[in-house]
Chain A
Amino acid sequence: MLRSPLGLRLVRALLAGRPQKPHHYVSADFFLEMARGAYASHARPVVWSNIFVPSELFWGLGIVPFFPETWAGLAASMGLSALGVSQSAALGYPVDLCTVHRSAAGLWASHLFPRMDAGVATSHICDIAGQMISNFAFTEGKPFFLLDVPQSNDGAAVDYVAAQLERLIEHWREALGISFDTDRLREAIRLSNQARALALEVASLREAQPAPLRGSGMRDQLAMLTAMFGHPSGIRYYQALRDYTARRVADGQPEQAHQRVRLYWMHLMPYFESALLSVLEDELGGAIAWEEISTLWWDELDEREPLRSLARKIVSLFFNGPIQRRTEMALRLIRRYHCQGAIHFSHWGCRQSAGALYVLRARLRREGVPLLVLDGDCIDPSNLQLGPLRTRIEAFMEMLA
């Protein structure tokens, strides 16, 4: 369906018929435009990437990015994860690997992904993301570029990554035949900064009590943060979200009526239909005031130094480097949003996120913030056992209340 212009129009019509919020129309249009560029058009090269290569780079170079991780999440929301996971097993991927990447591999093997002209990935978090894209590129006979990202967040690390970004552009010029127009990249940086300013307004509005937005409705934020910046849709999206949030605050009409306890949600959420979050929000009054993945982590980009700015954005990611960066950010956000507790959703197979939970828990405990760790899966419904998780959430909420 995605490969034909007619099919894309049909998808848009279907989406328009569903109850949507204003910003959802923008995001749907944005992702459909991406899909059109990737599936149905050959006008621009399609580069497969992990989600932490800055989107400004793609939009500023006239490249259509395709993020297998994001599309695996989208497929899960459409009930396609079983297909992805089973097909990846047929390819030989061991079952202990992260289901996001296994599902992506299975969807690729099922020919549900678009063409690939090249691959690129950063190395700094999630080992397997880059490896899977390099696997896809190898199998498709396409070039792959690894951006090696140090754990440090200092000037030397920025220089090192910026030098690689220069080489990456040179590599794409040769491999994809793109032309590099500095002004166009600067324009992407300007668009990114404008979207960033709006996203920061949303973040401020969400400090309100009661929380204006449902946390469960923000599960798509990582996709927005990692794909939209540098594209005009980013501005439209965050404008719509800002206006929507402001109205909810002004009218005193939060999306979630029953709010007893304010929570900070860490890592991902199930992308498929699950009662987990409705139990937390609607039955128990847990209000997710902020999600870790909604956090805009980078400073304003400097259009005079576009590549250094993007390098800085890459290395400053809160998942990069020692766990202290993540825990200190969590504490700042917990205070800012007046959260009484935190929940970490430990997605099966995600070593980078769950690996240092011991340290995270100890640090939050020292600050008097209780942490609940929920082991589950954001892609595979069969790996999310609602019964035991519900019991744990209930006990946690009782303690906090």
Chain B
Amino acid sequence: MSISDAGKPIVGLLSAFVPRELLFALGCIPVRMFPTAAKPTAAEAYLPRNFCALTRNLLASFLEEKPPVQAVIFTDEDDSLRRLQDVWAECVPVPIWGSLEVPRTDDAIAIRYFASGLTRLARQLELHTNEVLTARRLRAAISLYNQQRRLLLSLKASWLNGTLPTPLYRRLCRLGLTEHPQSANEVLQNQIDSLSASADAPGVAGDANGSAMRLLLIAELAAPAALVRQLESQGARVVAEVSDLDELSVMQMVAETGETVDELLIALAEAYLAKTPAPRVRAPSRRLAYLTQLARERAVDAVICACSKFCDLPLAEYPLLKADMERIGIPVLLLELEDETLSGQHRTRVEAFLETVRAHG
């Protein structure tokens, strides 16, 4: 974190469903946790070896690297996070300040239930921070994160039109999730200004002629940077990433018009539950309709699913996804990854896949 906000606790998030606005309004700096451990070895004393690799890597990161967070918030999103929360108290010296139940539907009943969960979370956080949640503070926090959403949408447009390289766009997305929102917004705004200043410069993403193979990546938290590097070094271009880093983040503006805390929490619940469908909602028709529409909009040539090994929900979705994409002529490659690195075998499979796609042009 480049700008520290003196005395404010940094709270780690393990899910995209925890409204950062709520934490910020209560004097915390919410940061999304990304795995930093090279290997999940340290977690193997606590979680089975055939457990979601991403979850094991996150635990290993806390065991080995001790990220500078004062507390974490859990959600009940899937079996992996639920069991991680179980072992957390036994092995990680970072307290859990709250646990949020996240509905898998977005109807009125679910929104009310989620909003009541947000109220409970707020009460828990108030005890830890000695702050009081007010409508004014929550509205200001929502406004700040809405500003970030607008900035990121602007940067996404630049990425998609080829003026912003993929690695830089991804770094900026990550920065939005892991930095103090005010400092992140400054960096994002500076980048937009700098793009505007060089608006006459040629495209920098290497596909100005539109000939590069266009790829859709599907991952949970984020596709590994090593994979993106390999793809782009081999002449392909990532044009969409369906992961918490990009398309699965909450990009819908949260209504700032509520006058009371309860109204604002409802607005947060609506926006967070309405985010792009992920496998956890068990709605294949919605999910596949979304993915195929995205593939068409971005003129995708091929799809790569970069799933964490032993991560059930995306893996169980894969056969449907593959069948649906191939029905519209888009080939799909599944990579089951143990960590952020790519093994030689993975690299070879990626190379072979790209060659095959090109050959069938």
Contacts and interface: CB of A to CB of B under 8 A. Distances in A.
A359 B282 contact: no
A92 B322 contact: yes
Contacts of B107: 167
Interface residues of B, number: 51
Contacts of A356: 83, 86-87
Chain A contact patch, size range? 35 or more
Contacts of A146: 104-105, 281-283
Interface of B is mostly: helix
Given A128-B312, A132-B316, A351-B312, A148 B110 contact: yes
B336 A96 contact: yes
B86 A148 contact: no
A278 B83 CA distance: 32
Nearest to B285: A138
Interface string A123-135: 1011110111011
A97 B314 CA distance: 11
A358 B92 CA distance: 13
B282 A144 contact: yes
Interface string B65-86: 0000000000010111011111
Interface stretch (A59-67, A69-77, A150-158, A295-303): A150-158
A106 to B, nearest CB: 11
Nearest to B78: A127
A148 to B, nearest CB: 5
Interface in B200-231: none
A346 interface: yes
Given A355-B47, A359-B86, A131 B313 contact: yes
Interface string B97-119: 00101011101011001001000
Contacts of B34: none
Given A134-B283, A323-B83, A355-B79, A96 B316 contact: no
A322 interface: yes
Contacts of B83: 323, 351-352, 355-356
Interface string A329-367: 000000000000000001011011011111100100000
Given A96-B315, A131-B312, A146-B282, 9 more contacts: A93-B315, A127-B316, A128-B313, A131-B282, A131-B316, A323-B86, A349-B50, A354-B51, A359-B87
Interface of A: 91-94, 96-98, 101, 121, 123, 125-128, 130-132, 134-135, 138-139, 144, 146, 148, 150-152, 156, 160, 163-164, 167, 322-323, 346, 348-349, 351-352, 354-359, 362
